[in-house]
Structure 1
Amino acid sequence: MRQAPAILALLALSGCVSAGPRAPAPSAAAVAPPPGWRTTLAQGGPIAAEWWNGFGDPALAALVARALANNPDVEIAAARVDEARAAEALARAQLSPQVGGTVPETQGQTLSPLGTPSRAFGAQPALTASFDLDLFGRLRLASRAARAQLLASEGARDTVRLAVAASAASGYITLRALDERLAIARQTLAARDDALRIARRRFETGYSSRLEYRQAQAEYQATAQLLPAAELAISRQENSLSVLTGDAPRAIARGLPLDRIGRPAIPAGLPADLLRRRPDLFQAEQTLVAADLTLDSQRAAFLPNLALTGNVGVVLSTALSNPVGVFSLGASVLAPIFDGGRLRAQEAAATARRDQAAFSYRRTALTALREVDDALAGVQRSGEQASALERQTAAASGALQNATNRYRAGYSSYLEQLDAQRNLLNAELTLVQARADRLTSNVALFQAMGGGWSPAEVSATGGAARAAPPVPRPAEP
């Protein structure tokens, strides 16, 4: 992932942002992501790329689906999309004529030719219409900016949904790792109990000193304290996942054990173009487009504006034998002459916002490159570490068996067995953490790539999906 020509081409934009003349921002068509990369479903539906199914754990998949359906942050992001959609409809409505109707009622008093006062009633219903010709595209640019802002809000929503899915998957993996740590602590405590029973019997028969018995007691209690700590961590992790799924604290359903959760195949070469699937990059692109269009609309405000108005109606009155039709047509031209520098200040502010969007776009692209490279390195290095720890655990288990046999036969002291027990416990706990890190690195890679990849996209670049090759085991001596 060291080479990323597509993203680096996008980053070239940042070199054009300066105090001098503005460089044109990419158009909406130029920055559109590949079709089908994002969902168009209603609020609460699953996103299109269900990458979490690649881990092969139904409980993990169900947890992610529930989080996407009920997470409050996802609902808030969806509501913001609805707000942006309404703003876009409002901006688009400014391009259409406005038609209204009025029915004012009037009444008055008149005098007859004979001087007899009389009262007359009347009304003048009318239709009014107004239309802004938008000669210089001010309203059209504002409508396009609102459309780009709507797309940016959809990208923000998908960013939240992708983060929620990754958090749910990583949280479930952490929970299964804590379960594994608790199981190891219980197994070790059972072994410590057996060792304590032997040490007590040897002390009571005078075969060993009180020191060995006290050491066995201390080691048993040191292991016993691991259980409540692990149970507390499990309870807190379950509560965290419950809040993530929009539920009150509850127990989380488990599926496969940690060592049986699958690792999705990773292509030998991932194309840099896949980074354009990232919703945060798409959001930054559309934010830049919206800022550039807003600046153009602000500049169009310096030019004259022509508006047409019309009015047609009838005059109805008891004083008239027949209704009288009336109409009016007119046009108004509004041009700024002196505004104390308001328009110039608004343009300067829009220019600054556009430059901020451009720099933010560049930062987002650089962050995407870093996150993908970090995730790829994490998948590789954590896998190597887990393989080495598996061999260390196997060796520590053999060493403990040998030390136990020697201790029971009276050929060595209890300290040898104690050291072997501690080494095995540390190796097992570290192995669990390494396995969890390897799986969470896979989750981070899917999140960094914007939600996974399709076989067609990988084959188009010559990459082949394959699992990481196993580290060869050394020959047994």
Structure 2
Amino acid sequence: MKPVALFLALALFAGASHAEEPASQPTNGQIPEVWTARQAVAFALAENPDSSIALKKIEEARAVFAIARSADFPQVSLVAEYGQTNNPMYAFGSILNQGGYNERIDFNEPGTTDNLQLKAGVSYRLYDGGENRAAKMAAEADVEMTKADQLGVHQQLGFEVLRAFYMIIQTEQLVRVREESLEAMSASLQVGLARFEAGDLLRQDLLNLELQQSVASENLIRSRHHLQLARRGFANLLGLPASEVAVAAGDTQEVPENLDYRNRHELMQLKSQEAVAIAEIERARSGQLPSLDTFADYQVNQGWVTEESGDSWMAGVRLQYSLFDGGNTASRITLAQLRLQKIQALRKKIELALNLDLEQAQLDYQQARERMAVTEKMVEVAQEAARL
């Protein structure tokens, strides 16, 4: 079974396109009586909570991207407000807005006034130095990073399911071996008892046979316990409650032909992080550039004290530029650049580590195949010797 375990390690280096392909036809939540490897992986990807969590993270990142994209559109607002005041400044302003001014009004004591104001406004940023474009780039890269996270969850989950699947097969075979060993030891003990009663066997030798039978029985108990644990773990990975599961013992997998560590989710995540870091540099640099906004609003004012009403409008543009910020923008640019350099160095480190892992997995797999061929030859020799 060691080649199977090594196959699982090699499977992680398969292309991302292979990892995203469905392992089998949709299960629709139906639980088969006997699981195949493909059915198990497909079911786990659909039902395991980790898959659902990864999907929610993607949706969350898309919501953040939608927030960043909203800056591309104008902002429209409607405001309705009613109030009363005897504050000279506000009262006189309300009178002017309502068109109710006359020469008898005392500027210092205009009296109590009321005002109902209905106002509609629109504003739009014409230029922000590239800050919004950088924010959208960062948000889009974050979406890709969460997709890489999801791919990583699927790859790891598929690996764990396959490992648990073949662990059940391996443990079932071991249980059968232990059962045969116990049967053989029990038969030897019966023969030993007969020889002991006939005086042809020492008691010490009989005790040794009983001890060997006890050891074989204990090994069988352990193997059965391990089988139950393997089945429980397999069911847990599938998102199912503890239950008895059966797997297809003859179901085998081929080693993927395309073994490329560059499709590993770790590198895809770092690639997205690098894109985020580049976007953060652009966002920081936008602080060195001016921003230009345009705005317009229209309002209607109605007063019941003055029994007058009026309307007005205002429109214009606003230019804003920071002449000095104490080095804040320069520091943010430096910080963003350092983060990018750190990610690039980490990416190189991960590439070297993954390449080494791939080479080790290939060598271990080749060694396991060679050892299995030797073992098969030894079994053939033993069978021939037993026949003779």
User: TM-score range, shorter-chain basis?
Assistant: 0.7 to 0.9
Match of 2:293 among 307, 313, 320: 307
For the residues of structure 2 that align with 1:266 and 1:327, how far apart are their CA atoms? 69
1:88–1:387 CA distance, 2 compared to 1 (3 A)? same
Match of 1:137 among 130, 135, 147: 130
- Is it true that 1:124 corresponds to 2:117 in the alignment? yes
Residue identity in the other structure for 1:392: M
Match of 2:365 among 379, 390, 394: 379
Query: Which residue does 1:238 correspond to in 2?
Result: 231
Match of 1:76 among 47, 53, 57: 53
Matches for 1:156-167 after TM superposition, within 5 Å: 156-167=149-160
Count residues in correspondence: 350
- Asked if the contact 2:165–2:247 (Cα under 8 Å) also holds between the matched residues in 1, the reply is no
Instruction: Give the secondary structure class of the aligned counterpart of 1:301.
Output: helix
- Is it true that 1:370 corresponds to 2:370 in the alignment? no
- Asked if the contact 1:59–1:254 (Cα under 8 Å) also holds between the matched residues in 2, the reply is no
Query: Which residue does 1:446 correspond to in 2?
Result: none
Bigger Cα displacement from structure 2, 334-343 vs 380-389: 334-343
Cα shift readout 1:205-233 (whole Å, capped 9, x = no counterpart): 12333343223222212211101111221
- Asked if the contact 1:138–1:297 (Cα under 8 Å) also holds between the matched residues in 2, the reply is yes
CA RMSD between the two structures? 3.2
Residue identity in the other structure for 2:23: E
- Is it true that 1:210 corresponds to 2:200 in the alignment? no
Query: Which residue does 1:280 correspond to in 2?
Result: 266
Instruction: Give the secondary structure class of the aligned counterpart of 2:127.
Output: coil
Residue identity in the other structure for 1:311: D
For the residues of structure 1 that align with 2:152 and 2:214, how far apart are their CA atoms? 47
In the TM superposition, residue 264 of structure 1 has moved relative to its aligned partner by 1.5
Query: Which residue does 1:37 correspond to in 2?
Result: 17
Match of 2:38 among 25, 43, 61: 61
Query: Which residue does 1:89 correspond to in 2?
Result: 66
Query: Which residue does 1:393 correspond to in 2?
Result: 379
TM-score, with length taken from structure 1: 0.66
Cα shift readout 1:192-251 (whole Å, capped 9, x = no counterpart): 111111111112112333343223222212211101111221222222223222233322
Instruction: Give the secondary structure class of the aligned counterpart of 1:309.
Output: strand
- Asked if the contact 1:284–1:364 (Cα under 8 Å) also holds between the matched residues in 2, the reply is no
Matches for 1:194-343 after TM superposition, within 5 Å: 194-251=187-244, 253-257=245-249, 260-264=250-254, 266-267=256-257, 270=258, 274-318=260-304, 323-343=309-329
In the TM superposition, residue 71 of structure 1 has moved relative to its aligned partner by 1.8
In the TM superposition, residue 147 of structure 1 has moved relative to its aligned partner by 0.4
Bigger Cα displacement from structure 2, 371-380 vs 192-201: 371-380
1:349–1:52 CA distance, 2 compared to 1 (3 A)? farther
Cα shift readout 1:259-315 (whole Å, capped 9, x = no counterpart): x33241654xx4x7x444333322221211111111111112122222222222222
- Asked if the contact 1:99–1:130 (Cα under 8 Å) also holds between the matched residues in 2, the reply is yes
1:161–1:238 CA distance, 2 compared to 1 (3 A)? same
- Asked if the contact 1:120–1:317 (Cα under 8 Å) also holds between the matched residues in 2, the reply is yes
Match of 1:104 among 77, 81, 88: 81
In the TM superposition, residue 334 of structure 1 has moved relative to its aligned partner by 2.5
1:394–1:206 CA distance, 2 compared to 1 (3 A)? farther
In the TM superposition, residue 379 of structure 1 has moved relative to its aligned partner by 2.7
Cα shift readout 1:384-429 (whole Å, capped 9, x = no counterpart): 1112112223434555677xxxxxxxxxxxxxxxxxxxxxxxxxxx
In the TM superposition, residue 359 of structure 1 has moved relative to its aligned partner by 1.9
Larger relative contact order (C-alpha < 8 A, sep ≥ 6)?
Answer: 2
5+ residue gaps, structure 2: 1-14, 27-33, 87-94, 96-100, 105-109
In the TM superposition, residue 319 of structure 1 has moved relative to its aligned partner by 6.4
For the residues of structure 1 that align with 2:353 and 2:55, how far apart are their CA atoms? 25
1:362–1:254 CA distance, 2 compared to 1 (3 A)? same
TM-score, with length taken from structure 2: 0.80
Query: Which residue does 1:48 correspond to in 2?
Result: 21
Match of 1:183 among 173, 176, 179: 176
Instruction: Give the secondary structure class of the aligned counterpart of 1:359.
Output: helix
Match of 1:174 among 155, 167, 171: 167
Structure with the greater alpha carbon radius of gyration: 2
For the residues of structure 1 that align with 2:253 and 2:80, how far apart are their CA atoms? 73
- Asked if the contact 1:95–1:140 (Cα under 8 Å) also holds between the matched residues in 2, the reply is no
1:104–1:266 CA distance, 2 compared to 1 (3 A)? closer
Instruction: Give the secondary structure class of the aligned counterpart of 1:133.
Output: strand
